[in-house]
Structure 1
Amino acid sequence: MTKPKQQEFNLDADTGLPLPTGSEPSAAVIDVTPALARKWLRNNTHNRTVRDRAIDDYARDMVAGHWSLNGEALKFSREGAVLDGQHRLHAVVAADVTVPMMVVVGLDPTAQETMDTGRKRTTGDLMGLRGETNAHVLAAILRRVWAWDTGDFRFTGSYAATNRECAELLSERPDIRRSAEIAARTRNAFPHIPASMLGVSHHLFTRLDADETAWFFQRIGDGAELPVGHPILALRARVTSERLESLRLPEFRYLAYLIRTWNAVREGRSLDRLVHPPNSVMPQPK
């Protein structure tokens, strides 16, 4: 992260905040240290309930050096109260790092009512801005591959990958773009399995055998030339039946089906019926 050039401004001796340059709100870029964040948080007296997950997400990005000076400001009232930015300040403390941030001071306290009312930029939005094909499918796959690699096999963990962590993962594993392409194509041919689970399984299986993975996903899509008792036919029958019954299944169940089918194919086993009891341990691809 490139360190921005520090501005010349005066600090309030008591609060450590930049002094307004006039009667109107003013802004400055400040290196926010953990000590400074703690001081400002002592005047965080009227704000939303703190969300630990947001703090954890921000702190991981800060520790990894992914936190960017993007124009989003910490905002303070004329009296020095925190109006916006408490999660970022808590994250600086949790990460124990110094982060340059834009700071706006001198705001009317009522301005807080209009803050954070916009729609949050999602990972899919980020991928779209970068010109990625199948942006939202790609984003869903990246988040779940990241979760899988951290041991969250059911995608129900207490925190999820941040936008920057997803971008970093894509940089490290550009082949996930191919998994998103195959997932979208397979979903179009056979619309009974979520594209996110198709993409995650494609990525996991490709690590083991790329050629067999290509054949496996072609057959999921078309079911062609498969003998009675073939695991892929059992998979197609299972998810089609559940779709017709309008069952709402957690997405990890579909991944479990895909992995059980893949393992059966790799082991040369027949399957007349595919099952994965709700409380079963998530199988691992072999």
Structure 2
Amino acid sequence: MADIDRQEDGYAFRIPTLNEYGIPVRSGDYWVGTDLATQWLERNLEENRKVSTVRVKRYAKAMAEGRWKLTHQSIAFDQQGNLIDGQHRLMAVIHSKTVVPIRVHVGADPSTFAVIDTGYGRVASQFMRVANANIVKGAARIILFAEQCRENGGEVALMHRSTFDNDVIFETVDQWPELQEYSAAASRIYRACGSSSTNMLAVLAQASRGKNPGAIDSFVEKMILGEDMSKGDPALLLRNRAIARMDRSLSYRDKTVLYGTTVKAWNAHAKGEKLKFLRFIYDDKSEEGMLPVSAGKGSTGMREKIPEVY
């Protein structure tokens, strides 16, 4: 085993000693760069899941910006030295041209591949100790939806429960500690006015990395208390929508509208702007982009782009 290279966040990472297959001789936390990632991807099983470009870009962005942290998720090789988990992380290392700490597990039982690929076997063990687990998991799914929309230039992406495997959602939770940080606030908002806690949590978490995170506390307070708001206050408009039960449908269309209106309300609050009205127009019959028409009942007109969190 090579000497410890350096420490980061209290962890000691090593440069791995490789066996005849070019993989570490034992499991551990290692520094992984472009050369190792390329070498290990050559041992990728053909049965591995289809590569998600969005997922690779998301990981690469975090790596390039220095936000990548060691988590329980690992690169895994089976007893024959085949890569059975971690292809997206390795591709992200190559894409970002960085050296990052990654946990590597060697000698895994090949029969565990099906569980690793879908993540179903991780549900209970990982979420039993997470506060507000269902809210956090749902919000992570919405953040993934928002990232897909951003990759599509703002065009609405799919937001069905089956769109993302559990392991993708769990990794998103790892990469977004703000989800657990703001989960209690999102729950309080739901109890106060009925605004979706998962949707609110996804927006608050993204807002904490936005241009005015200092405005989060006042936004949360307004949503909970319903006080100190005048006409045109975006928090008041969003709160009134929730109280009027305008966003309670479980349809794909209405979930999209709910997210769009919540982001619009937050963005206006963060910028100190007033709004005349709060709405997000989504018409799944339309094949057009932004058109100067309203989308009333039976309309095949406007469809807005998903706004980014300010």
- Tell me the TM-score range normalised by the shorter chain: 0.5 to 0.7
Q: Does 1:162 align with 2:166?
A: no
Q: State the partner residue of 1:23.
A: none
Q: Does 1:4 align with 2:13?
A: yes
How do residues 33-52 of structure 1 correspond to structure 2 at under 5 angstroms? 33-48=33-48, 49-52=50-53
Q: CA RMSD in A?
A: 5.6
Distance 1:266 1:210, change over 3 A: farther
| Same amino acid, percent of matched pairs | 18
Q: Does 1:194 align with 2:196?
A: yes
| 1:163-206 CA-partner distances (Å, limit 9, x unpaired) | 34422x57xxx9x74xx545423322432x31244454797998
How do residues 241-280 of structure 1 correspond to structure 2 at under 5 angstroms? 242=246, 249=254, 250=256, 251-255=258-262, 258=265, 267=274, 275-278=279-282, 279-280=303-304
The number of residue pairs the alignment matches comes to: 253
**What is the Cα deviation at residue 237 of structure 1?**
6.4
| 1:260-281 CA-partner distances (Å, limit 9, x unpaired) | 9979x97596x7xx65433246
Work out the CA distance in 2 between the residues paired with 1:34 and 1:164.
23
Superposition TM-score, scaled by structure 2 size? 0.53
- Structure 2: which 5+ runs fail to align? 1-7, 159-167, 283-302
Work out the CA distance in 2 between the residues paired with 1:28 and 1:54.
24
**What is the Cα deviation at residue 215 of structure 1?**
4.7
Q: State the partner residue of 1:74.
A: 76
Q: State the partner residue of 1:236.
A: 240
| 1:16-39 CA-partner distances (Å, limit 9, x unpaired) | 2346xxxxxx64665433212212
Letter of the 2:173 counterpart: N
Superposition TM-score, scaled by structure 1 size? 0.56
**What is the Cα deviation at residue 75 of structure 1?**
0.5
Please tell me whether Structure 1 or Structure 2 has the larger radius of gyration of its CA atoms.
1
Letter of the 1:218 counterpart: L
How do residues 3-42 of structure 1 correspond to structure 2 at under 5 angstroms? 3-5=12-14, 11-12=19-20, 15-18=21-24, 27=27, 31-42=31-42
Work out the CA distance in 1 between the residues paired with 2:173 and 2:190.
25
Distance 1:94 1:118, change over 3 A: same
Work out the CA distance in 2 between the residues paired with 1:82 and 1:60.
23
Q: State the partner residue of 1:218.
A: 225
Distance 1:283 1:83, change over 3 A: closer
| 1:15-64 CA-partner distances (Å, limit 9, x unpaired) | 42346xxxxxx646654332122123223242322222332333344442
Work out the CA distance in 1 between the residues paired with 2:308 and 2:30.
48
Letter of the 2:244 counterpart: T
Distance 1:121 1:52, change over 3 A: farther
- Kept in 2, the 8 Å contact 1:75–1:85? The answer is no
Letter of the 2:19 counterpart: L
| 1:132-157 CA-partner distances (Å, limit 9, x unpaired) | xx56546739975xx69x97997957
Distance 1:76 1:163, change over 3 A: same
- Structure 1: which 5+ runs fail to align? 20-25, 221-225
Letter of the 2:190 counterpart: R
